Amino acid sequence: MAHIIDGKKIAGSIKELLKQEVQSLKSQGLSPGLATLLVGNNPASQIYVKNKHRACQEVGIASFDYHLPEMASLEQVLAAVEELNRNEKVHAILVQLPLPSQVDSHRVLESILPQKDADGFHPYNLGRLLSAKDKKELTQKDSVIPLPCTPHGIMALLESTDQSISGKQAVVIGRSVIVGKPVAALLLAANATVTVAHSQTKNLEECCAQADILVAAIGKSKFVTASMVKPGAVVIDVGINRDGEGKIWGDVDFESVKEKAGWITPVPGGVGPMTIVMLLKNTVELARGYRRK
């Protein structure tokens, strides 16, 4: 039976540390601030944005809530980002995705100042992530590289186990810019040997069964079954899939896989809480970095 990696608990301890750091920064006259920009009324996005503001409140980060109508034009969205780029109280900007179809999300993400890029999705920051030689280069104190929040949270969950990452075989299922690609880059920087699988991968089951570390970011309920898992592997389940009754399921068939894996994250209570806490961490680090310049 696998050890359960308790993302909620780990996120809680990081939050505590951030709370103390925010207090200390405030006493030095710096109040970290995060702005969210929501376009339209997507119910899930509204919930995500609300949760982010609540989390900011919990650690003392100032949060600014910008909301544009569903029919907002690209120019209106770019103007809102520009205003936030100029606002000195805002150290980190998060544009809630997905954006309505008339708004080109690449243009919007590229318009955020890289040093205010809360999600780490700006091509400049993704490029810095890819060009970093190793973990040390990624975490230099005087040069903040905001890392995409979910992948950063996944790495913290892996580090919370007593398993080393260096030299291990890692398989990431999924190649999105939000999860799959950046988590692969982070695993590589931590010296894992990484395979990125996707919908066109042949022999997926055999490929996954070789993995010491298996990250599932597919978006399909219970996709990863026990036959795809190496005995003793660390299994990280990123999926958030809602069924007809609104219940949330991961991409991993938890009940069968937990009998075979060495470590496993639950859904909910695994990767999800880490994503939000890494957003708070990015905000605090960007506030510190921004101040130094």
For the annotated catalytic residues, the residue numbers are 52, 96, 119
Nearer CB in complex with ligand NDP: 19/220: 220
Nearer CB in complex with ligand NDP: 83/206: 206
Closest separation in Å from C-beta 238 to ligand NDP: 4
Nearer CB in complex with ligand NDP: 26/220: 220
Q: Mask: binding to ligand NDP, 181-210, rule CB under 6 A, as x and -? A: ----------------xxxxx--x------
Q: Which residues have C-beta within 8 Å of that of residue 205, sequence separation ≥ 6?
A: 227, 228
* Cβ(222)–Cβ(253) below 8 Å: yes
What is the three-class DSSP state of 34?
A: strand
> Any bridge partners for residue 36, and if so which?
65, 94
Q: Should residue 37 be labelled a site residue for ligand NDP when binding is judged by CB under 6 A?
A: no
Nearer CB in complex with ligand NDP: 146/174: 174
| E strand segments, the chain | 3-4, 33-39, 62-68, 92-95, 169-173, 193-197, 213-216, 234-237, 241-242, 248-249, 263-264
Find the binder of ligand NDP among 79, 124, 169, 219 (CB under 6 A).
Answer: 219
Closest separation in Å from C-beta 174 to ligand NDP: 4
Q: Should residue 282 be labelled a site residue for ligand NDP when binding is judged by CB under 6 A?
A: no
Name the strand (E) or helix (H) holding 64: strand 62-68
Per-residue tokens: 271: 């990767």
> Any bridge partners for residue 92, and if so which?
34
Alpha carbon distance 30, 106 (integer Å): 31
Please name which of 182, 190, 105 lies closest in space to residue 146, comparing C-alpha atoms: 182
Burial class (CB in 10 A: 0-12, 13-18, 19+), 103: buried
Nearer CB in complex with ligand NDP: 107/198: 198
Q: Which stretch binds ligand NDP (CB under 6 A): 33-41, 60-68, 132-140, 235-243?
A: 235-243
> Any bridge partners for residue 237, and if so which?
216
Q: Which stretch binds ligand NDP (CB under 6 A): 50-58, 76-84, 128-136, 176-184?
A: 176-184
Q: Should residue 178 be labelled a site residue for ligand NDP when binding is judged by CB under 6 A?
A: yes
Per-residue tokens: 190: 């931590």
Q: Should residue 150 be labelled a site residue for ligand NDP when binding is judged by CB under 6 A?
A: yes
Instruction: List contacts with ligand NDP (CB under 6 A).
Output: 150, 173-176, 178-180, 197-201, 204, 217-220, 238-241, 271-272, 275
